[in-house]
Amino acid sequence: MPAVSKGDGMRGLAVFISDIRNCKSKEAEIKRINKELANIRSKFKGDKALDGYSKKKYVCKLLFIFLLGHDIDFGHMEAVNLLSSNRYTEKQIGYLFISVLVNSNSELIRLINNAIKNDLASRNPTFMGLALHCIANVGSREMAEAFAGEIPKILVAGDTMDSAKQSAALCLLRLYRTSPHLVPTGDWASRVVHLLNDQHLGVVTAATSLITTLAQKNPEEFKTSVSLAVSRLSRIVTSASTDLQDYTYYFVPAPWLSVKLLRLLQCYPPPDPAVRGRLTECLETILNKAQEPPKSKKVQHSNAKNAVLFEAISLIIHHDSEPNLLVRACNQLGQFLQHRETNLRYLALESMCALASSEFSHEAVKTHIETVIAALKTERDVSVRQRAVDLLYAMCDRSNAQQIVAEMLSYLETADYSIREEIVLKVAILAEKYAVDYTWYVDTILNLIRVAGDYVSEEVWYRVIQIVINRDDVQGYAAKTVFESLQAPACHENLVKVGGYILGEFGNLIAGDPRSSPLVQFNLLHSKFHLCSVPTRALLLSTYIKFVNLFPEVKPTIQDVLRSDSQLRNADAELQQRAVEYLRLSTVASTDILATVLEEMPPFPERESSILAKLKKKKGPGTVMGLEEGKRERGPDINGGPEPAPASATSTPSPSADLLGLGAVPPAPAGPPPSSGGLLVDVFSDSPSAVAPLAPGSEDNFARFVCKNNGVLFENQLLQIGLKSEFRQNLGRMFIFYGNKTSTQFLNFTPTLICSDDLQATEPADQARGSDSGRGRAGAAGCQHRVCVGLHRSTSSQHPVQVWRNLSECVRQVAHHTQQVFPAHRNGLPGLLSALEAAEQSPAGGAEHFQGKASNGHRNHQSQDYWVWFRAPGRGRSESCQFCGSRDHPHQNHADRVLVALGAEPPGSDVPAHAADEQGDRLPEAVCAAVGAVLAPRLLAQPLSAQLQARQPASSLRVDGMAQCEDRG
C-alpha cells in the first residue's frame, strides 16, 4: 500500500483494495467481494444512520468493485445522498459514482438533477465545477432536457469564472452530441464565437471545440468564427515559445489549441481574400517551423510540432486551392517517409493518400513511389504496410500502373492474411482501370488467382470474363494463357472456373495448335473436374456442351463422359440435370440448332466495375470514393464550368413521373428501344436513358421481382411505390401502391397509366390462334392501379412441328414479358431462364414455383390448346450472379436451361397445380423437346428437326421425370 495518500485517505478502502490484490485466485477475489458487498448492504440497511465519511467510503468501495467488472445493484441512493453533502470530497465521490454508474431509474435522475441544480446555483465555484463535470460525463437526454437552457447562460455570463466557462462549453458540447435537437443555438451563438478572443487560453480551447461541432451543423451561424480563428492562430504561431507560459508544451506554443483552430477552419471553404492571405501566412509559418532544427530532443516536442503540421496539411488539402502549399506539404511529408519514428512514417503515408487525389499534388506524390514501395517491402508493422498499399493505390495512374501492380502482386505473396482480400481487389481494379494492353490485364488477373486464389472473390473473376468477352482482341490470348496456366499440376479452383469459361467460349481460337487440340483441352479440363466443387463442375459441364458445338470431333468423348453414371446419376440434382439435358441436347439437336443455341456470348453492357463497388463496400465510402470522386469532380471546379447536375438529388421527382407516366411524358427516350418500342420497355428496360434518373438502388429493386411477386419498386424520401403482382394461368395482375412518406398531404398527385401497344403486344401475332390473351386494363381508384397482363395461350390443331413453333412463340412472348418485368436481364430469354433457374434452385426443386402445366384433356394432340404458363417464383434467393441471375456461374449461355412448361388445358379452367402429375403421361411431343433441348428466340425461324416428333411421355418437369424420359429415349 502506498504511504502517500493526499487529501483524505480512506483507510478502509485501502485495506479492502489490498485484500483484493492479495487474493490468490479469482474465486478468492469473488468471495472477498461478496463478503464486502454483504457488509456494505447491512451497513446501508442498518438502523444506525451512517456519517458522511462512512457513506463516502462504502460508496467508493462499491465503485471499486464495479470497476473491477462486477455488477452493482444497490448504493445508488446513498451516492445520491452524498451529492447534497456540504463536504467537498463526499460530494465529489457521489458525483463520481453517478458519472460511472448511470442508472436510468427515473426517480433517481430527478434527484440527481435536483442536486445538480442546487450546486449550479450555489455560486460556490468548486461545487459548480463538480456539477458541470457530472453533466458532461453523463450527458443523458434527461440532463439535456433539464440543463440545455441553463448552461449557455453560464457560458456567456460576464461574471462566470474561467474554469466554469471551460466546463460549461464542453458540457454543452456533450449535450449537443447526445441530443442536438434539445440544444438549439440561440443568441448566445455570437457571444460564444467571441470567446475565441478570450484572454484565457483554456477558455479559448474549450470554446473552439464547441464551435467546431456546432459549426458542422450550422455553418452560417458560426461563420464569423473563421476570421477570429485565423487571427488567433496567427498570434499563436508567431509567438515565441515562452510567450504563452504554461500553454507552451515542450517549446511548442499551444499545440492543442492550434490543432483545434485548424480543425475549425476545415468546417469552411477557403475564406475571403483578406483573411485568406493571413491564413496562408500562418500555414507557411507552420510549414517553415516544422523544418527548423528541433528545440528539444524529446519526442514530445516533435510530436506536438508535427501534430500541428499534420493538421495544417489537412486544412491545405481541404481547401485544395493553393498549389504551392500542396506541393510543399507533399515534399515535407516525403521527408517523413524515411523518418526513424514509425508513427511519422505511418501518418505521412496516410496524409499523402489525401494529397494524391489533388491534381495539384498528384505528380509530387508520385515522385515518392520508390520510397513507398520500399516501405511495402521493409516495414515491420502491418498497419504501416497497409498505409503503403493505400498510398500506392491512390497514386496509381496510367504512367506507373504496371510498376505498382507488379509490386502489389509480389507483395501479395507474403502479405498478411488480414489485408490480402483488399489488395486483391485493389490490384484487380488498377489492372482494369489502367490497362492499355489487355493481355497485361489478363496476365495480371491470372497471376492474382495463382498467388492468392482464395482471396479472389467472385466479382474479380466475373470481371475478367466480362472483359475478355467484350474485347475480341484479347480472346485468343486469354484462351492461350488460361490453357497454359491450367497445366500447372495444382491450380486454384477459381482458375478452373475462368479457364473453363474461356475455353468454352474461345477454345477454338487455339485449337489449331496440336498441343492444344480440342481433345487436349477437354482432357485438361476434365482432369480437374473431380477436384472441384459442385458449382465449378456445373460450369465445366456447360463448357463441355459448348465444346460439342465448337469441336464436333470430341462429341463422342463428351457424350461418354456425360453418359457415365457419375454424371447421369449424380447425387447432386443440378449436376444430374445438366448432364441429362446436355446429353440429350447433344443427341437430338442438329448442328444448326447447336450452333445457335451454344453461340458465343454476346458482349456485356458496360457498367461500373463490380469490384470497385465491392471495395467501396469493404472500405466504407471515405477512402475509395474520395479518391475516385475527388479526381473526377475537379474538372468543372477548376474550369469554372457548370457542375454536373447531381443525379439523385435534383431529379428525385422524375423517377416517379417516369414510372407512373409510363411515357405520358414525351416520346420514349432517345433511340428506339431494343424490342417492340413499347413504353413499358422504356421504363423497365436496362437502357441507361430510362434507368439513369432513378435513385441509386432502384435497379436492384427491379431485380428483386425476379424472384418475388411483391416488394418495393421505388423509394425516396417522399414516396414509396410498392408492387404486388399475382399470376394465374394466362393472367397477371399488378397492384401498384403509392406510399406518402412525408407528413404532409400530396397535392395534385395524379398517377397516370397508359396501357400502351406494348401490352397488346402480348397478344399472339398470329390471330388464327384466336386467344383471349393480351388484355390491358387500367382502373384508377384512388391511388391503386391495376394492370392486367396476359400471357397468352396458343391453340394448335396442326402438326407437332407447328405445335412446337407455337410453343417457341409462346416462349418468346414470355421472354418478352420477362424483359419488361425483369429488366436486370439483357434480353428476354435469359431473364426468363434465370427466373426459371431461380425456381429450380429453390429448396422445393422448383416444381411448385414454376408450374409446368402439362395436361392433356383430349388425348388427341391434333386439337389441343397449348399453354405456356408462366409464373414468377414466389420465393427469393439469397444471391445470384450479377450478370444473369444464376447462382453459380457468370452468364453462361442460358439456352440450355430451358424448362419452359408446356401444357394443354381447356381454356378458362382452373387446373390444379398437380394436374401434370396426374394426367401427364401423354404429354405432347414438344414437351420432350422442351425438356431436353434448347430454345432461343431465334429458333423460331428455323425448321425443327424431325427428332422433335419423337413422342415420349413425361410426367413432370422435375429431374426424375427427365431422367425417365432419357431412359426411354
Near another protein in 837-856, by CB under 8 A = none
**Among residues 57, 174, 463, 614, which is the contact residue for another protein, using CB under 8 A?**
174
342 near another protein (CB under 8 A): yes
**Among residues 51, 107, 243, 381, which is the contact residue for another protein, using CB under 8 A?**
381
296 near another protein (CB under 8 A): no
In the region spanning residues 73 to 112, those forming contacts with another protein, defined by CB under 8 A, are 87-89, 92-93, 96, 99-100
Sheet with strand 778-781: strands edge to edge: 710-715, 719-728, 731-740, 784-790, 778-781
Question: Which secondary-structure segment (H or E) carries 574?
Answer: helix 573-588
Q: What are phi and psi of 878, to 5 degrees?
A: -80, -40
Longest dimension (CA), the chain: 109
Q: Which three cell numbers stand for residue 632?
A: 473526377
Amino acid at 428: A
Q: How far apart are the first and last CA of the chain?
A: 93
**Among residues 40, 60, 445, 545, which is the contact residue for another protein, using CB under 8 A?**
60
Under 8 Å CB-to-CB from 285, ≥6 apart: which residues? Answer: 237, 238
692 near another protein (CB under 8 A): no
Choose between 382 and 765: whose C-beta lies nearer to another protein. 382
Q: Rounded to the nearest whole angstrom, what is the least distance from the CB of residue 61 to another protein in the complex?
A: 11
Options 162-170, 228-236, 431-439, 493-501: segment touching another protein (CB under 8 A) = 162-170
CB neighbours of residue 553 within 10 Å: 12
Options 6-14, 231-239, 773-781, 923-931: segment touching another protein (CB under 8 A) = 6-14
In the region spanning residues 620 to 639, those forming contacts with another protein, defined by CB under 8 A, are 620, 622
Query: What whole-number distance in Å separates Cα of residue 156 and Cα of residue 238?
Result: 29
In eight-state DSSP terms, residue 645 is P
642 near another protein (CB under 8 A): no
State how far the alpha carbon of 954 is from the alpha carbons of 58, 572, 576, 926, in Å. Answer: 85, 21, 17, 11
Under 8 Å CB-to-CB from 78, ≥6 apart: which residues? Answer: 44, 50, 55, 58, 59
827 near another protein (CB under 8 A): no
Choose between 255 and 271: whose C-beta lies nearer to another protein. 255
3-class DSSP assignment, residue 712:
strand
202 near another protein (CB under 8 A): yes
Question: Which secondary-structure segment (H or E) carries 168?
Answer: helix 162-178
**Among residues 193, 206, 317, 468, which is the contact residue for another protein, using CB under 8 A?**
206
In the region spanning residues 725 to 744, those forming contacts with another protein, defined by CB under 8 A, are none
Site string for another protein, 227-266 (x = CB under 8 A): ------------------xxx-x----xxxx-xx--x--x
Number of residues that bind another protein (CB under 8 A): 77
Q: Rounded to the nearest whole angstrom, what is the least distance from the CB of residue 266 to another protein in the complex?
A: 8
Choose between 266 and 410: whose C-beta lies nearer to another protein. 266
In the region spanning residues 386 to 415, those forming contacts with another protein, defined by CB under 8 A, are 386
Q: Which residue has the cell 409462346?
A: 810
Rama region for 770: left / alpha / beta (φ>0; ψ in -120 to 50; rest): left
Query: What whole-number distance in Å separates Cα of residue 194 and Cα of residue 228?
Result: 8
Query: What whole-number distance in Å separates Cα of residue 667 and Cα of residue 682?
Result: 10
Contact status, residue 254 vs residue 286, Cβ threshold 8 Å: no
353 near another protein (CB under 8 A): no
Q: Rounded to the nearest whole angstrom, what is the least distance from the CB of residue 17 to another protein in the complex?
A: 6
CA angle 699/603/595 to nearest 5° reads 120
166 near another protein (CB under 8 A): yes
Q: Rounded to the nearest whole angstrom, what is the least distance from the CB of residue 581 to another protein in the complex?
A: 49
Choose between 72 and 524: whose C-beta lies nearer to another protein. 72
Q: Rounded to the nearest whole angstrom, what is the least distance from the CB of residue 340 to another protein in the complex?
A: 10
Contact status, residue 349 vs residue 375, Cβ threshold 8 Å: yes
- The alpha carbon torsion through 698, 699, 700, 701 (nearest 10 deg) reads 50
Choose between 71 and 700: whose C-beta lies nearer to another protein. 71
178 near another protein (CB under 8 A): yes
Nearest to 735 by CA among 751, 716, 758: 751
Q: Rounded to the nearest whole angstrom, what is the least distance from the CB of residue 215 to another protein in the complex?
A: 13
**Among residues 126, 227, 400, 652, which is the contact residue for another protein, using CB under 8 A?**
126
347 near another protein (CB under 8 A): yes
133 near another protein (CB under 8 A): yes
Q: Rounded to the nearest whole angstrom, what is the least distance from the CB of residue 71 to another protein in the complex?
A: 8
Options 26-34, 163-171, 533-541, 797-805: segment touching another protein (CB under 8 A) = 163-171
Choose between 67 and 665: whose C-beta lies nearer to another protein. 67
Choose between 513 and 629: whose C-beta lies nearer to another protein. 629
193 near another protein (CB under 8 A): no
Rama region for 609: left / alpha / beta (φ>0; ψ in -120 to 50; rest): beta
Distance of alpha carbon 958 from its chain centroid, rounded? 37
Options 63-71, 444-452, 703-711, 782-790: segment touching another protein (CB under 8 A) = 63-71
In eight-state DSSP terms, residue 883 is T
Q: Rounded to the nearest whole angstrom, what is the least distance from the CB of residue 905 to another protein in the complex?
A: 59
Question: Which secondary-structure segment (H or E) carries 333?
Answer: helix 323-336
